[in-house]
Structure 1
Amino acid sequence: MDNSSVITVFTLSGLRGTTNYRVTLFVLTLLCYCVIWLVNVTIIVTIILDKRLYEPMYIFLCNLCINGLYGTTGFYPKFLIDLLSTTHVISYAGCLLQGFVLHSSVSADVSMLVLMAYDRYVAICQPLVYHSVMTTQRVCVFIFFSWLIPLYLVFMSSITTARLRLCGSHIPKIYCINYLVGKLACTPSIGNVIIPAFNYSFYSGHFIFIIWSYVYLVKTSQTSKESRSKFMQTCLPHLICLIILLFSLCFDLLYMRFGSQVSQSLQNFMAMEFLLVPPIINPLIYGFKLTQIRNKILQFLCGKRL
């Protein structure tokens, strides 16, 4: 029998015990979601409207903000509904879709950060060939594959998960991910182990490249005052965003390992930290640190040219 005909809905247990303050949580969550949209849309619109910002670094930043909106849309609307509901369930198809969106958003985030690291590497370490390397056509290809590869890899993982025959419908979290759905399988699947293992290895390679590039960038930036200034202005925001993402993913991994041993409130924070902090902090860091974006936003708010 096909598993979708057996399991039609999943129950989410992450919100148990929140009945007394669910309205407060709803208001705070809605406020956070509005802030996420505000700061990310501000950066996106600023870059789109100003042709002087049509440079690789800003184009990559624009896509990073778009991805932030994409990932949070897979979580917050359903979470807000659950906060006001007495039953916390999600359909089988909705669970797989939510897992796909969240996984692909994190993967695309890493891809964007790799592109931004490569862009800064070429700009600082090989400035004479920067414009010949980072051409418009090449940037478009980079962006295309930074979206396509995560979507494809996570899609294959989701297909493997969807083929599993499930013997349970309880997910001990506030949202669905493929790992937890896979734990409900009646029998283990080789594909459900190999594909995620490949994905983790693939993106671990991304982090290794970023670390290597920044080691080289730090060494190069010490050679001249100009390189040091360029590093502090354009690389430091990227480095902070990377640290925030790593910190957020570590929280989620800690949830997987120690979630059942801590309070439900802390479990929920660890589960949603990567959907809360990076989408808000990343645009703010770039908005304040990058002079051209900051001046453009201030020009719009003040109604005058800076």
Structure 2
Amino acid sequence: MGNNTYFYFMLFENLGHIRYALFSLGFVLYCVIIILNILIILATFLERTLHQPMYILISCLSINSVYGTAAFFPRVLLDLLSDTHTIPYEACIIQSFVIFSYAANEFTTLMLMAFDRFVAISKPLRYHNIITLRVITVLIFVHWIFPMLCLGISGILTARLTMCGNKLWKVYCHNYEIVKLSCTNTISNNIWGFFILIITAVIPLCLILYSYVKILIICQRSSSQFRSKAYQTCIPHIVILLNFSIAIISEITLSRFLNLEMPTWLSVIFSLEFLVVPPILNPLVYALNFTDIRKKIICLIKW
């Protein structure tokens, strides 16, 4: 089978009338995700007092959530209502790129947040000289573009493969699942995939853990007032980090090791967690824990 073909999403078959309930649930979730994250973005953009590195990084998470879910929800909602569940080869490659660049951008943004908090707590007097708007803009640009370039190369490597199958046992295009359908040598794809995993997930996660361990050590040596203030700004980031890390680990484990050893519906739920839960949880956590953001969002809602 050549590359100018279609893939079939097998999990949408034989859903019966339950697909309408799933469509309704998916539509509501997508609307909630868009509304919550747009409110965070508008609050940060319109309120000048929020033009600070920490709030800019929070808005970057929301921008990334809108970006990633736009590649998933419209497509899956269309498939739920359609009688044919196919996607062109090129569109599948693009969807896979967007979804996994979203995941990579999430990790790199969380890494920059950990670095921002580390500098703020370890060097409070020099913080505004070290973490300027120009510095944080450059860091965001570099740490978003580099993973996307790497994932772009991965997409090119996958596009060059000759397919011997066209059945995807996912509800979205997954690069590893596409590679498994190839009847040609995929060693280069697998090696590059592990390289991407290391630079976009393993290394950022290690740096994040290192930053928060150093923050914890500093807090233990400081006054109770300083410790309370530090915990207040760090705990929301840690909650977001734990949720996203668990979701990504579940997705990687399921797709590579356990996908055939558990019920299909449970596998689908775990594989979708990183696409559904963080985009909802992130704005809720930050809106509830940061007074400045919450006040501006309330003003926007009233307006």
Partners of 1:196 and 1:18 in 2: CA distance: 33
What is the identity percentage for the equivalent residue pairs of Structure 1 and Structure 2?
38
Alignment of 1:250-289 (within 5 A): 250-256=249-255, 257-289=257-289
**Equivalent of residue 204 in structure 1, options 202, 205, 215:** 202
Partners of 1:221 and 1:22 in 2: CA distance: 51
Shift of 1:20: 2.5
TM superposition score normalised by structure 1: 0.94
Partners of 2:301 and 2:278 in 1: CA distance: 24
Alignment of 1:1-306 (within 5 A): 3-5=2-4, 8-202=5-199, 203-222=201-220, 223-256=222-255, 257-301=257-301
- What letter corresponds to residue 100 of structure 1 in structure 2? F
Shift of 1:16: 2.9
- What letter corresponds to residue 198 of structure 1 in structure 2? F
Query: 1:149-207, CA deviations, whole angstroms, 9 ceiling, x for partnerless residues?
Result: 12101001111111111111111111111111111111223320221111111130110
| 3-state SS in 2 of match to 1:10 | strand
CA contact (8 A) 2:107 2:204 kept: yes
Range that drifts further, 214-223 or 68-77: 214-223
CA contact (8 A) 1:157 1:195 kept: yes
Shift of 1:253: 2.5
Range that drifts further, 181-190 or 126-135: 181-190
Partners of 1:17 and 1:271 in 2: CA distance: 20
Range that drifts further, 179-188 or 29-38: 179-188
CA contact (8 A) 1:14 1:268 kept: no
Range that drifts further, 265-274 or 31-40: 265-274
Structure 1 stretches of 4+ moved >6 Å: none
Partners of 2:2 and 2:144 in 1: CA distance: 30
- What letter corresponds to residue 201 of structure 1 in structure 2? I
Shift of 1:101: 0.4
Query: 1:183-232, CA deviations, whole angstroms, 9 ceiling, x for partnerless residues?
Result: 11112233202211111111301100000111111111221234322322
Range that drifts further, 87-96 or 191-200: 191-200
CA contact (8 A) 1:233 1:290 kept: no
Partners of 2:33 and 2:184 in 1: CA distance: 40
Partners of 2:231 and 2:290 in 1: CA distance: 10
Shift of 1:302: 5.1
Shift of 1:52: 0.2
Partners of 2:206 and 2:249 in 1: CA distance: 16
Structure 1, unpaired ranges of 5+: none
Partners of 1:29 and 1:302 in 2: CA distance: 27
- What letter corresponds to residue 225 of structure 1 in structure 2? S
Partners of 1:299 and 1:74 in 2: CA distance: 30
Residues 86 and 205 (structure 1), Cα distance of their counterparts in 2 relative to 1, 3 Å cut: same
Query: 1:37-91, CA deviations, whole angstroms, 9 ceiling, x for partnerless residues?
Result: 0110010000000000000000011111100110001100000001111221111
Partners of 1:14 and 1:94 in 2: CA distance: 18
Range that drifts further, 28-37 or 294-303: 294-303
- What letter corresponds to residue 74 of structure 2 in structure 1? P
Query: 1:72-117, CA deviations, whole angstroms, 9 ceiling, x for partnerless residues?
Result: 0110000000111122111101100000001100000001000000
Range that drifts further, 47-56 or 15-24: 15-24
| 3-state SS in 2 of match to 1:276 | helix
- What letter corresponds to residue 153 of structure 2 in structure 1? M
Partners of 1:231 and 1:72 in 2: CA distance: 32
Partners of 1:58 and 1:226 in 2: CA distance: 23
CA contact (8 A) 1:36 1:279 kept: yes
Partners of 1:153 and 1:227 in 2: CA distance: 41
Residues 108 and 63 (structure 1), Cα distance of their counterparts in 2 relative to 1, 3 Å cut: same
Partners of 1:46 and 1:194 in 2: CA distance: 42
Partners of 2:259 and 2:121 in 1: CA distance: 42
Partners of 1:107 and 1:47 in 2: CA distance: 23
Partners of 2:141 and 2:175 in 1: CA distance: 25
- What letter corresponds to residue 198 of structure 2 in structure 1? S
Shift of 1:277: 0.4
| 3-state SS in 2 of match to 1:111 | helix
* Aligned-residue RMSD, C-alpha: 1.5
